[in-house]
Structure 1
Amino acid sequence: MSLIFLMLLLELNPKLNMAGILRNNTQQSPREKLWFFLRFAFLFIWVVIYPNVITGQDLYTGEQWLMQLQQIDQSAGPAKQNQEEILKLANQYIEAVGKDSIYARMVSRLGDYYRILGEFDKGLLWLNEAVAINKSGLPAAEEAYLVNSYFNLALLHGSADYLTAANQYLDSCIFTIEKYPEKGSAIGRVYELKAFYFFENKDFQRSIDMVDFALSLPEVDKNEVDKAFLLLQKGQALLGLNKIDEAEENILEGYGILQNHSLGGNSLATLKGILSKLFVEKKSYKKAILHLEDAMEINSQYGFTSNVAGNLSEMGSIYVQFLDNSKKAIECYEKAIALLDKRGEKSILPDLRNNLGYAFARQKDYPQAISHFQAGLSDLNMDFSDTLWQRNPSLEQIKRESNKYLPSLLLANKGEVLLDLYLEERDENILKLALSTFKLADKAIDLMRWEHTTQQSKLFWREKAKTMYGKAIEACYYLNDLDYAFYFFEKSKAVLLIDKLNELGAQQFLDEVDLLTEKKISFQLKTLRKNPAFLNENDPEFLNKRTEFNDLLRKYEDFIQGLEIKYPNYYQYKYDTSVVSLLALREEILSPDQTYIGYFEGEEFVYSLAVTHDKSAIYRMPSGELNSKAKELLYLSSDRDRLNRNYSEYLKLAFELYDGLFRPLGIMTSRVIISPDNFLIPFEMLVKENDNPDSFLLHDHAFSYTYSAGYLFKNQEKGSHSTASFLALAPVDFQPHLQQVSLKGSDVSLGKLKKYFSNHQIFTGSEATKTQFLNHLPAHEIVQLYAHAHADDRSAEPTLFFNDSTLNVSELSFLGKLSTKLVVLSACNTGVGKLVPGEGVFSLARGFAAAGIPSSITSLWPIDNKATYQLSEMFYQGLAEGKPTDLALQEAKLRYINENTGINRLPYFWAAEVMIGNAFVFSAKAKNNFLLYIVLLTIILGLVFLKMKRGNFLKSKPK
């Protein structure tokens, strides 16, 4: 532009030349010099400045402004200083040029600096102005730059804990990038932030899914730094799921990449913080603290106050949780709070208050601890500022807080410390306040339960919540509040299973089209996850499958949200968090000959709640070694020879468990329903006398088991069934690739069973396929399987074997509406699976329960084939005689013991099979009315014969 100006100047005054401009000026008079400079200034304004004022698009000048912005942004000065300099620069620009895309860039950065400083309101104003300029459609707008402003808005809302809004802005980033592919280099950071927000909300599996999808994108593959930080984020999420080895692999890979790059201060500090978390999990606490000290120094240098406070918070947690140094932890927390108070920042204050309260509680300074929990509640974004610890926020106020994990955590901790304070002072008012606080914490957990979508993430808070429920039950025990004790027993058990049943029940409100659409998309998501191309990044179709999955997931979430608006009843039923009441259990579920026993295993005590048709009571016993004894009992019982060799040890364990878990309850009814916690043992194999090998509880009680009382309530059905239809499969032999041994005699046993049913379908040998099972299961009330199964206490995916292939437990969720009331799984280990605190064993039997089948008979260890056939035949005979399933199974076991001798009477042979769920009465065979018809026909013929003999038959009476 300067060259054009000089050419015009020379054209206006030919006497001037390039070399003599200054020389000629010095030879002019003062008046001529003044006129020359005025004319020069006028031409400069006309040619150079004026066009820039009009268009705002002068390339050279624009680059100069942007270079100044970049210099400020990349300086090592404090955030406050950078913010002030950018504000000054923006004011200068608007005076010189006006509002255009360059100005929008300036105020977008300005808004982000206000976010860093914790001044969210100001940040929001500047960022919205940047968006308005670039969405205006004017020539001075730059729509593609909306990606940057949306990203900064996401950061701002995330910092303010409005994670839903933050994710919406990130989605806007993605849509804008799709429109302007030249902005594709930002996609890695967008998905990294999405993953981080899922991580912040404890939805760890979704965080991992986001990272995996981002890593499949070619734009990320080209950007090593973005790839590294995505791997680091995935590592953190894996740490949240306690997958330490996988986490370390991802974190070290990300760290290895970043070692080859020079990082900005914020990125380097973040890296140090992540390394610290890894070393904490690896129990290298000194290394963890060193990395945090490095992170603090970097963050301090760049003026990132919130990050410094976060580093101090993490350091304090290491001191209090792992190094047992509460005093040092309190120093860290108080220093962090003072730092935030000085800067007027509140972003992580609730976490700090919670941690500080925990540290004081460890010192048994309960009043101080409670005051900090109360302060933490006041610091949340829910319009609650009451400092009196006797007050709690309302449920409506909790709903205003975007991150429901924080209020639930603060309330749970406050309730626990109130309970500790009660035990010290014995003031019942404190105990009542503790209970009301636990109730509110439970409601906050329910809100969080609605927001989490993946099972893994739900399992995270289920495990965390179990401790709180144990403390709530303890408070109820001291108050003898049986109704709420039962309530918390229920809230601690099988919540995910009840959620699944709610979802199945909610589908009754959908029309056929929406129901089919929901099942179709859900099935596609499940199958995509198992597709080899989805799992193998070296597969040519890997990227396509990942993209397809992400698009489908977004489509599914949008569809479900639409259903919940379209069908209010669907929403209400699906998200029903109420539990069955103690009164309902007594009056609507239990019969006069039944007792329900719920167990809860806490850190110090095992609580049991015994409920009959007319009374209930709560008991407490020291946990001692009950859990380890239960495991030892199962270990001995699951092997015939081992049990035979150690039978005296078995009797000792069986009596100790009876004496600890059952005898104190004084059960008198003939039928008992057990709702276990952390252990499932056949109570029928416990003995009342340690020197009497035949004193099994089986003689006195018919036992059944349930995931919770709510599970029974969901599946209750009054009265007996009409003639039950029977489906049975026995593959006998299995295809070679399945590597399963033959089940000789299973087809013969099925031949004996079918005589008890008028309506039956039997598939044996090569006909006993997975397809036959899936096709015929929905229409039959009773299903019998003689097959193999695989499950252990590490696998989350138990498997059932048919003649041709396998069925994974996750596939059962696609079965649709079922008529099935009872499935008998005569296969090894069908009751075995991964134990999840608060949820029970994720077994094959639980998979059938989640599919809506209310009752199953399942095995707890590998079983003897001959004994299985015997027990099954005896069981179905009792069922055909009209006995409920629990009594029919008890009778079958008693008959088995009586009809066998020697080693064959060991519990190994008969105790493995247990009944889980509702007990039903079936009419297995249609009533044979032939004799009744003969009698009626004989009577009719007799009457006819008498009439004919008297001559009155078919004759009219005389008129």
Structure 2
Amino acid sequence: MTASISHIVLKLLAGILFLSGGSAYAQCRPSATFAFQVSRLLPSESIADWENLKRDWKHCGIARDSSYGRLLNTLGNLYWLAGNKKKALEQLQEAVRLPALPPDLYTQSMYRYGAYLIGNNRWEEAESTLLQVITHSERYQFHERVAAACAQYAYLANAKGDFHQAVEYADKGIDYARLAHSSSRELYNLNQKVEGLIGLNQLPEAAQLMESVIDSKQGPLNPDHSLLAIDIYLQLHQLPRAQELLKQALHTFTDSVSQGKLYNEQGILFKHLGQPVQAQKAYLRALTYFQEPDVRAIVYSNLGEINSDRPTVALAYFQRGIHQLVRSCTPHRLSANPHTSQLQSVSRKEYLLLLLKQKVQALRMRYQQTHDPQYLTLAQQTITVTDQMIDRMRWSHQGMKSKLYWRNTTRSFYEDAIQVCYWQKNSSRAFYFFEKSRAVLLADRLNEWNASRQLPAHLAEQERTYRQTIEQLQELSPLGSLAEQRATRTRLDSITQAQQAFIRSLEKTHPTYYQYKYENQVPSLQSVQKSLLAKDQALVSYFIGERALYALGVTPTKTVCKRLPLTGLQGIAQQFLKYCSTAQLTVTEVQQFNRLGYELYQRLLAPLGLTSARFIISSDGVVLPFDAFRFSPDRPSDYLIHTHAFSYTYSAGFLLRKRPPMGWSKNFLGLAPEAFAPALHQQPLPGSVQTLTRIEKQVFFPKTLVHQAATKRAFLEQAADYRILHLFTHADADSTATHEPVLYFADSALKLSELENAPPFRTRLLVLSACKTGVGVDQKGEGVFSLSRGFAALGIPSTITTLWSVENKATYTLIEDFYHFLSQGLPQDLALQKAQLQWLQTQDQQLPYYWSGLIQMGETTPLYDDAALPTTAGIAGGLVLIGLGLWWQRRKRHL
């Protein structure tokens, strides 16, 4: 009763104060009266009442203090609830700009401002704002607000497909929610973590997490948890559990939005049960429950998917889904695609990408049905937009796991794109998508390196320091006690926020930095023919899809594109590599090996009909030694190496990159530990130091670090300045994701990830005389993450690397001969070919294990030119004479 009387009194007071449009304040009472009114006026009052108070506050010139900030907060929330997003943002924007707000009110205003920015699709601003909320709230130990901001930030990361980052921030939010004893904040963050795990396809972990929540609360807590749990079990094909949860949720959550989403999940369940008619009914029923464009778009995507055997029907649904996200795309016109300028404003970009990919696939299938070329034209138009969409999403992803996930996810799109180009007989366009399908992250890393070179030295160093610090903190974040992890994450957020602000300022103040960092130009087929290939040289690029293998052969005068059968190829290649990497084979195994080498030649190279003497192979995934292929299955020593030289590349774009002039550099640095620290468990390499000594005689101005001088620190401190680097050592490259590749020095090991913090190298050729430096984890859609690739990311254009555990004596001999032929001015691929041929002509061991494990990766440019040697020697001699002359003149003056 007392509460009701107080409420009536307050209402009467409010009415008196606001009579005649706020005339009570026209007399400009003391500021305390305004502050009192803010504290007493109920949030349920009308927007007009609050606007009157704000107007009078300004009219009377009252200081805009914390009470005014609370007024703006409340008014902003009222506008938001009323659906006026623009006015809501205006209030919060004014609030966060007020000087000297108390920390609690400031972080509250910033949090609401960030949330409202999300609602207005201003995601980049929202990310920056929420990071500030997290940083400030941690400083003042506002634990619940940290948890709330982390959940919003994780939502943004999930929405743009950066699932790894979403999981990281959701974990942090869960931690702070527990500190604040806020179960609601913990659950919201848990939702975002599960969504991120689903995105990363870590379904068992996501299921375990959801079950722990369900068990702890004796059933699903809210519609979002139910939906996520159902989605997980559907993807795991655990249909009875999904059906059980769905039935319970439909009975529990009866509001229209929940019902719509649950019927969408029911449609997916029917699809898995092989009941497309029931699935379609469930999807159509879902559409009747809600109007949210994002949700409707995904339902239309599902409707199109279950009608994939009827491409015309599927296309109608996909186009409607696109229309939900981009209203200008008319639902009844297949030619209506989003314009480039519209892509950034789409909230759920992964939904639009999915619909565009599905549309391309349906257009491809429709062409197969009708052979009507208009569908190829429509497909090509949609492919162009989808490719732009992929680029925009790629640039927004920060976590490596998310980047690799999307490289894998977009793989099927590039197969469709290449197939459409193949049908159109458009080799130039096909080549573009061959290039876009590989080594994109390597190109991005090289772009960053080139961009940093456009900065003054102190800014480039600052950028590098930020990157190193963040990577170190990311490694430390899961270590130590909860308090230590929390402190590390706080530090990581602070540094990340500072780095992002720093990068944004660089992009504005240094246009060339921005230009190089986001350079996305794919070399044209014509530029490859004109600028890359010699007269006797051919580039062969491969794409391994789900349906077929595509091969594109390019010479200076012609282009050949073939669609080749894929059946059994992987097994043949694996067995061939196994024989290649074996030192001793039985007679039967040799016969099998010969047949496999011949079959690979017939399947991969012969169909292209190219007769070039030199081949550049742009592989798709694992590299095969083409020089060990055979022209016949039974003739001895009938290897391709006898008539062809082979080099390999990550992409044609890697070879055509504009590399900055290196200027004067030291010439040759060789390292040979020969023996290793006991803790490394590596066998000695006897003979490596002697071989390095002999190599010294074939190069100019050599420097060598041998035995205990060949340390990891010495390498990292000195190697970047040398034109040629040579390492006689051991390496490990796991074929799984369990361990990353490592390179051993006398005292310790260098991990592949450590190269990311190394300075850019001026090196032109790196020779890795170690085992398996060219192999590693094959990241589908991106390539093999090997040691040689790690060095390529530092700007080294050429590497001699290994495909298996090479035999020491053979390697020493081959490498010595390679330097001998290199010193004669030969291109690197021809120098290696001659070294291998010399082995076959002079040694008893003829199996590829001994001579084919070394490959040349990258540029094949000669490092020595016979014509230039006299000039170089003359210049050097002249400098010596000048130096002697100056010394003699000084000596005479002192006599």
Normalised by the size of structure 1, how large is the TM-score?
Answer: 0.81
Whole-Å separation in 2 of the counterparts to 1:378 and 1:48: 47
Q: Who is 1:943 aligned against?
A: none
- Secondary structure class of the residue paired with 1:852: coil
Whether the 8 Å contact between 2:128 and 2:497 is mirrored in structure 1 is no
Q: Who is 1:598 aligned against?
A: 541
Q: Who is 2:202 aligned against?
A: 243
1:179 Cα shift? 8.1
Q: Who is 1:949 aligned against?
A: none
Whole-Å separation in 2 of the counterparts to 1:431 and 1:560: 41
Q: 1:520 is aligned with what amino acid?
A: T
Whole-Å separation in 2 of the counterparts to 1:48 and 1:424: 72
- Secondary structure class of the residue paired with 1:727: strand
Q: Who is 2:29 aligned against?
A: none
1:315 Cα shift? 3.8
Q: 1:536 is aligned with what amino acid?
A: L
Q: Who is 2:286 aligned against?
A: 336
Match of 1:389 among 334, 338, 344: 334
1:685 Cα shift? 0.9
Whole-Å separation in 1 of the counterparts to 2:160 and 2:619: 31
Q: Who is 1:122 aligned against?
A: 84
The number of aligned residues is 849
Whole-Å separation in 2 of the counterparts to 1:641 and 1:324: 52
* Pair 1:457–1:501, CA change in 2 (3 A): same
Q: How do 1:123-162 residues align onto structure 2 when only pairs under 5 Å count? A: 125=87, 144=104, 151=111, 154-155=114-115, 157-158=117-118, 161-162=121-122
* Pair 1:387–1:625, CA change in 2 (3 A): same
Whole-Å separation in 2 of the counterparts to 1:168 and 1:552: 13
Task: Work out which of the two has the higher radius of gyration on C-alpha atoms and give 1 or 2.
Answer: 1
Whether the 8 Å contact between 1:791 and 1:843 is mirrored in structure 2 is yes
1:616 Cα shift? 0.7
1:667 Cα shift? 1.8
Q: Who is 2:236 aligned against?
A: 282
Q: 1:625 is aligned with what amino acid?
A: G
* Pair 1:315–1:832, CA change in 2 (3 A): farther
1:619-670 deviation line (CA, Å, top 9, x unaligned):
1111111122112211232222357662222222212111111111112111
Q: How do 1:707-718 residues align onto structure 2 when only pairs under 5 Å count? A: 707-714=650-657
Whole-Å separation in 2 of the counterparts to 1:539 and 1:95: 49
Whole-Å separation in 1 of the counterparts to 2:705 and 2:208: 48
* Pair 1:632–1:225, CA change in 2 (3 A): farther
Q: Who is 2:315 aligned against?
A: 370
Q: Who is 1:17 aligned against?
A: none
Range 704-713 or range 462-471, more displaced: 462-471
* Pair 1:544–1:654, CA change in 2 (3 A): same
Q: Who is 1:234 aligned against?
A: 193
Whole-Å separation in 2 of the counterparts to 1:408 and 1:44: 52
Q: 1:451 is aligned with what amino acid?
A: S
* Pair 1:372–1:541, CA change in 2 (3 A): same
Q: Who is 1:481 aligned against?
A: 426
Whether the 8 Å contact between 2:85 and 2:120 is mirrored in structure 1 is no
- Secondary structure class of the residue paired with 1:763: strand
4+ residue runs over 6 A deviation:
41-54, 56-61, 90-109, 130-138, 720-724, 928-933
Whole-Å separation in 2 of the counterparts to 1:517 and 1:500: 17
2:466 equivalent to 1:521: yes
1:841-868 deviation line (CA, Å, top 9, x unaligned):
0111110111110111111111211111
Q: 1:259 is aligned with what amino acid?
A: K
* Pair 1:565–1:311, CA change in 2 (3 A): farther
Whether the 8 Å contact between 2:148 and 2:173 is mirrored in structure 1 is no
Match of 2:261 among 297, 305, 310: 310
1:427 Cα shift? 0.8
Whole-Å separation in 2 of the counterparts to 1:586 and 1:782: 28
* Pair 1:805–1:643, CA change in 2 (3 A): farther
Q: 2:529 is aligned with what amino acid?
A: R
1:759 Cα shift? 1.1
Q: Who is 1:765 aligned against?
A: 707
* Pair 1:907–1:569, CA change in 2 (3 A): same
2:352 equivalent to 1:352: no
Whether the 8 Å contact between 1:382 and 1:400 is mirrored in structure 2 is no
Range 643-652 or range 819-828, more displaced: 643-652
Whether the 8 Å contact between 1:374 and 1:389 is mirrored in structure 2 is yes
Q: How do 1:907-946 residues align onto structure 2 when only pairs under 5 Å count? A: 907-923=848-864, 927=869
Q: 1:122 is aligned with what amino acid?
A: N
Q: 2:828 is aligned with what amino acid?
A: T
1:501-535 deviation line (CA, Å, top 9, x unaligned):
1111112221112111101111111222334xx33
Whole-Å separation in 2 of the counterparts to 1:380 and 1:866: 63
Q: How do 1:415-454 residues align onto structure 2 when only pairs under 5 Å count? A: 415-454=360-399
1:333 Cα shift? 2.1
Match of 2:768 among 803, 825, 832: 825
1:753-802 deviation line (CA, Å, top 9, x unaligned):
11111211111111110111112211211111111111112237311111
1:83-110 deviation line (CA, Å, top 9, x unaligned):
xxx688x899999999989987876665
2:221 equivalent to 1:259: no
Q: How do 1:32-71 residues align onto structure 2 when only pairs under 5 Å count? A: 55=33
2:806 equivalent to 1:863: yes
Whether the 8 Å contact between 1:384 and 1:397 is mirrored in structure 2 is no
State the Cα RMSD in Å: 3.9
Whole-Å separation in 2 of the counterparts to 1:158 and 1:293: 33
1:214 Cα shift? 3.7
Whole-Å separation in 2 of the counterparts to 1:93 and 1:51: 10
Whole-Å separation in 2 of the counterparts to 1:630 and 1:428: 37
Q: Who is 2:123 aligned against?
A: 163
1:802-830 deviation line (CA, Å, top 9, x unaligned):
11111111222333232211111111111
* Pair 1:318–1:782, CA change in 2 (3 A): farther
Q: How do 1:791-810 residues align onto structure 2 when only pairs under 5 Å count? A: 791-795=733-737, 797-810=740-753
Whether the 8 Å contact between 1:734 and 1:802 is mirrored in structure 2 is yes
2:151 equivalent to 1:192: yes
2:771 equivalent to 1:840: no
* Pair 1:293–1:129, CA change in 2 (3 A): farther
Normalised by the size of structure 2, how large is the TM-score?
Answer: 0.86
1:491 Cα shift? 0.9
Whether the 8 Å contact between 1:124 and 1:156 is mirrored in structure 2 is no
Whether the 8 Å contact between 1:822 and 1:853 is mirrored in structure 2 is yes
Whether the 8 Å contact between 1:131 and 1:146 is mirrored in structure 2 is no
Match of 2:451 among 485, 503, 506: 506
Q: Who is 1:269 aligned against?
A: 223
1:531-571 deviation line (CA, Å, top 9, x unaligned):
4xx33242763332221111111111111111111111211
Q: Who is 1:954 aligned against?
A: none
**Identical counterparts, % of pairs:** 30
Q: Who is 2:491 aligned against?
A: 548
Whether the 8 Å contact between 1:110 and 1:123 is mirrored in structure 2 is no
Q: Who is 1:38 aligned against?
A: none
1:576-604 deviation line (CA, Å, top 9, x unaligned):
11200000000000000101001111111
1:403 Cα shift? 4.1
* Pair 1:368–1:151, CA change in 2 (3 A): farther
Whole-Å separation in 2 of the counterparts to 1:548 and 1:906: 55
Range 459-468 or range 575-584, more displaced: 459-468
Whole-Å separation in 1 of the counterparts to 2:128 and 2:421: 43
Whether the 8 Å contact between 1:724 and 1:924 is mirrored in structure 2 is no
- Secondary structure class of the residue paired with 1:756: coil
1:936-958 deviation line (CA, Å, top 9, x unaligned):
xxxxxxxxxxxxxxxxxxxxxxx
Whether the 8 Å contact between 1:882 and 1:921 is mirrored in structure 2 is yes
Range 215-224 or range 380-389, more displaced: 215-224
- Secondary structure class of the residue paired with 2:777: strand
Q: How do 1:690-709 residues align onto structure 2 when only pairs under 5 Å count? A: 690-709=633-652
Whether the 8 Å contact between 1:757 and 1:924 is mirrored in structure 2 is no
Q: Who is 1:458 aligned against?
A: 403
Whether the 8 Å contact between 2:89 and 2:116 is mirrored in structure 1 is no
Range 563-572 or range 795-804, more displaced: 795-804
Q: 1:782 is aligned with what amino acid?
A: I
Whether the 8 Å contact between 1:704 and 1:916 is mirrored in structure 2 is yes
Q: Who is 1:665 aligned against?
A: 608
Q: Who is 2:354 aligned against?
A: 409
Range 670-679 or range 590-599, more displaced: 670-679
- Secondary structure class of the residue paired with 1:339: coil
* Pair 1:112–1:255, CA change in 2 (3 A): farther
